[in-house]
């Protein structure tokens, strides 16, 4: 996962690399049932013609990758998506039932027919998720409305007469979820983790990352040409003639390029020290003399306690301030119009939906076909009302015993990491003491929150879908901003319960495992311990290790940004981390393109630590027991490592692979499967690998 800094302005971290809506859904060839009575390792998923010591990914999951090619609706297909499909079906059943129940009741003289389902109480969570889903599924109404639901906001943009009006409209759009100029939200104060402050973050781009505007290679130039064509087409759909649409697209590209050139790179943003710049009102005024933060706070209805602000990228805001006065007002209106329509496109009529898909998924990710509408609507409902939907999902699909089993495994992994920290030869006593204190302060969250989110003030009906979506976004904005100036809510979650994912948050020093991931192949009640430790055990270890990766190590036990390392121990750590960086920098894909070792460093450290700790925890669980007998010709150690690779079974399209490598801190799955075990002598012993073979690294990386 990426280390998560809490708040709207920074997405919660995750175990896998998610790129938009296209990761979730069905496949063309149905997977075997996820509750199948296979004792952990399905031999048909393997390719035993491959040599485990030379091509472990092919050996462990070559059968799976052959059986399950990428369906046309997706840019990639793997284990996470295989499991997410099961959850998608479960959520669909809940939502279709809720949509029926939230439909109009019979009148007082018309009693419900025998056998009919109960109607949802108006204002209830079931009514809201049912109506949200129903409004999303009502294609006839969406097609008939076209761009009309956006007319009031488009009129406001057209009436902007001065810089003050422009700033007011930017605030309105941001509250509605539009990526206008920059991002804003709440976060824990990194140097006083009991407090919540506001944070401002670079943003305002239409392409995935600043490098898409700045790179000069042919592939980047082509994407910019395709982006210009896409923006032009959207302006035409919004009513512009061809010439005006093309001119407007060039305006958008010029403004966004200026924002991109002032933005931090993905690697630079990984430094929590560099992105912590707390400023009081006088400093804010000096930073952006043309942008009134006082007026902005009023426009977004910020709480009175909002005074200090973490400006994560001061240079970006300095450059933005200059653009506000040098770019003509008419061009800013064009830019805002684009950002509004582009953000809303997936919730508008089919011509907007299809154009949005064509660029953002077909061109950028290689997806061949748009997902069925019900899949998109399930995902949207989970995204906007996920804790109301998740409450029902947990009640129906996540029994208490599953939570209890996961709790036990987490405790075992924490014990294994404690043993490791206590004996690390390169860590001195002062740093060791602080590391153990941080581990002891870990807060595991399993399955679902203890306190559910309150949606009572959110209005949802069967009116325009795009209006419902914006209402839900405004509700979440207000909920997030209300945290500022209040004590940190340590019960809050950054992922909904059905998510097939997990994360670590350094500010809360917590590891979080939603109910959606606590299922096969990650965790299987019918599998032996070797398989479960190689799957879910390594996932748990991965999240725990994030507390000590290149970002997490900078936060103490209470979640404060503080250096608790001695100089010598820090040098020892950085030397070992550099080994991991070089290892992943050496992996190539699509010919001679390399991974970015600095960008994927945190995830790769966590994979190495997680798998190593999980192996030790499994070995500890065998103390006092006889060694398990081989199953299907595979030893328990072999099954442990094979299920690790099975977690990362995946096929991906070239376009998607390039997108992930350019923008995401997670390595491609094929490299995650082999990266950590190739550093472990335990793997080499399990498969009798010899020095010089691919899975036995000459320069072994070891941290934990």
Residues annotated as catalytic are 543, 607
Positive/negative CA dihedral, 275, 281, 282, 285: positive
Distance CA 125, CA 618 (A): 42
What is the Cβ-side half-sphere exposure of residue 258, based on CA atoms within 13 angstroms? Answer: 18
Return the structure tokens found at 390: 């998740």
Neighbours of 622 (CB within 10 A): 13
- Residue 182 β-bridge partners: 202
Question: What is the rounded distance in angstroms from the CA atom of residue 505 to the CA atom of residue 293?
Answer: 29
Q: How far apart are CA 637 and CA 109, in angstroms?
A: 68
Q: How far apart are CA 464 and CA 275, in angstroms?
A: 39
Residues 212 and 223: beta-carbon distance below 8 Å: yes
Indicate the length of the chain as a whole number. Answer: 704
Helices 218-237/242-261 angle, 10° precision? 130
**Nearest of 516, 458, 476 to residue 15 by alpha carbon:** 516
Helix (H) or strand (E) holding 505: strand 503-505
Residue 694 has a CB neighbour count (10 Å cut-off) of 14
Per-residue tokens: 166: 């422009």
- Round to whole Å and give the CA distance between 338 and 179: 10
Separation between Cα atoms, residue 257 and residue 271, nearest integer Å: 24
Q: Report residue 432 CA to chain centroid gap.
A: 31
Cβ atoms of 169 and 157 within 8 Å: the answer is yes
CA distances 196 to 135, 156, 185, 481, Å, are 35, 33, 10, 10
Looking at the chain, the number of H-run helices and the number of E-run strands are 28, 11
CA angle 110, 111, 112 (to 5 degrees): 115
Contact 170, 295 (CB under 8 A): no
Place of tokens 């507390």: 547
d(CA 193, CA 487) in angstroms, rounded, equals 9
The answer to whether residues 668 and 652 touch, using CB atoms and an 8 Å cutoff, is yes
Give the angle 138-141-146 at the CA atoms, nearest 5°. 120
DSSP string, 348-385: S-HHHHHHHHIIIIIIHH---SPPPHHHHHHHHHHHHH
Between CA 16 and CA 644 the distance in angstroms is 14
């Amino acid at each position: 996962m990426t280390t998560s800094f809490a708040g709207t302005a920074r997405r919660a971290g995750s175990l896998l690399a998610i790129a938009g809506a296209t990761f979730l859904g069905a496949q063309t060839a149905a997977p075997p049932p996820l509750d199948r009575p296979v004792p952990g390792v399905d031999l048909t998923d393997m390719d035993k013609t491959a040599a485990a010591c030379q091509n472990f990914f092919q050996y462990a999951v070559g059968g799976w990758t052959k059986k399950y090619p990428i369906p046309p609706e997706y840019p990639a297909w793997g284990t996470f998506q295989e499991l997410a499909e099961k959850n998608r079906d479960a959520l669909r059943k809940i939502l279709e039932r809720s949509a029926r129940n939230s439909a109009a009741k019979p009148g007082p003289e018309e009693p419900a027919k025998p056998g009919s389902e109960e109607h949802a109480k108006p204002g209830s969570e079931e009514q809201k998720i049912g109506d949200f889903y129903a409004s999303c599924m009502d294609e006839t109404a969406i097609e008939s409305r076209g761009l009309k639901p956006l007319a009031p906001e488009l009129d406001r943009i057209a009436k902007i007469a001065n810089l003050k009006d422009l700033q007011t409209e930017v605030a309105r759009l941001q509250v509605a979820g539009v990526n206008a100029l920059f991002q804003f939200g709440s976060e824990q104060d990194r140097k006083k983790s009991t407090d919540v402050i506001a944070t401002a973050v670079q943003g305002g781009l239409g392409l995935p990352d600043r490098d898409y505007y700045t790179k000069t290679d042919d592939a980047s130039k082509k994407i910019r040409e395709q982006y210009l064509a896409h923006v032009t087409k959207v302006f035409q759909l919004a009513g512009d003639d061809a010439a005006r649409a093309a001119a407007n697209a060039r305006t958008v590209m010029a403004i966004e390029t200026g924002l991109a050139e002032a933005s931090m790179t993905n690697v630079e943003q990984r430094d929590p020290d560099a992105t912590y710049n707390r400023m009081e009102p006088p400093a804010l005024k000096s930073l952006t003399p043309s942008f009134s933060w006082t007026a902005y706070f009023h426009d977004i209805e910020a709480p009175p306690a909002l005074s200090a602000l973490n400006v994560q990228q001061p240079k970006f805001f300095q450059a933005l301030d200059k653009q506000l006065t040098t770019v003509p007002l008419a061009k800013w209106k064009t830019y805002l119009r684009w950002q509004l329509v582009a953000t809303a496109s997936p919730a508008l009529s089919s011509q907007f939906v299809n154009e949005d898909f064509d660029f953002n998924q077909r061109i950028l990710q290689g997806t061949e076909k748009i997902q069925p509408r019900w899949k998109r609507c399930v995902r949207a409902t989970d995204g906007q009302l996920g804790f109301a939907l998740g409450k029902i999902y947990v009640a129906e699909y996540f029994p208490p015993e599953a939570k209890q089993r996961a709790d036990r495994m987490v405790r075992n992994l924490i014990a294994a990491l404690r043993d490791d920290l206590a004996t690390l030869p390169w860590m001195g006593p002062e740093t060791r003491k602080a590391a153990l204190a941080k581990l002891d302060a870990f807060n595991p969250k399993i399955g679902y929150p203890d306190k559910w989110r309150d949606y009572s003030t959110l209005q949802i009906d069967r009116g325009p879908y795009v209006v419902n979506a914006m209402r839900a976004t405004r509700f979440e904005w207000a909920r997030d901003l209300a945290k500022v100036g209040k004590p940190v809510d340590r019960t809050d979650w950054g992922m909904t319960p059905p998510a097939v994912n997990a994360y670590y948050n350094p500010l809360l020093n917590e590891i979080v495992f939603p109910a959606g991931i606590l299922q096969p192949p990650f965790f299987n009640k019918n599998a032996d311990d070797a398989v479960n430790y190689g799957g879910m055990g390594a996932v748990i270890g991965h999240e725990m290790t994030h507390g000590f990766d290149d970002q997490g190590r900078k936060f103490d036990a209470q979640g404060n940004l503080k250096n608790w390392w001695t100089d010598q121990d820090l040098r020892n750590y950085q030397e070992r981390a550099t080994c991991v960086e070089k290892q992943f920098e050496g992996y190539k894909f699509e010919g001679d393109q390399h991974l970015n070792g600095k960008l994927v460093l945190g995830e790769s450290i966590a994979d190495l630590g997680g798998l190593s700790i999980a192996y030790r925890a499994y070995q500890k669980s065998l103390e006092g027991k006889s060694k398990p007998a081989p199953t299907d010709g595979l030893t328990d150690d072999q099954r442990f490592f094979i299920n690790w690779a099975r977690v990362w079974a995946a096929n991906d399209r070239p376009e998607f692979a390039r997108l992930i490598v350019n923008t995401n801190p997670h390595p491609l799955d094929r490299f995650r499967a082999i990266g950590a075990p190739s550093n472990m002598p335990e793997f080499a012993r399990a498969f009798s690998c010899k020095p010089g073979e691919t899975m036995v690294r000459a320069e072994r990386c070891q941290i934990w």
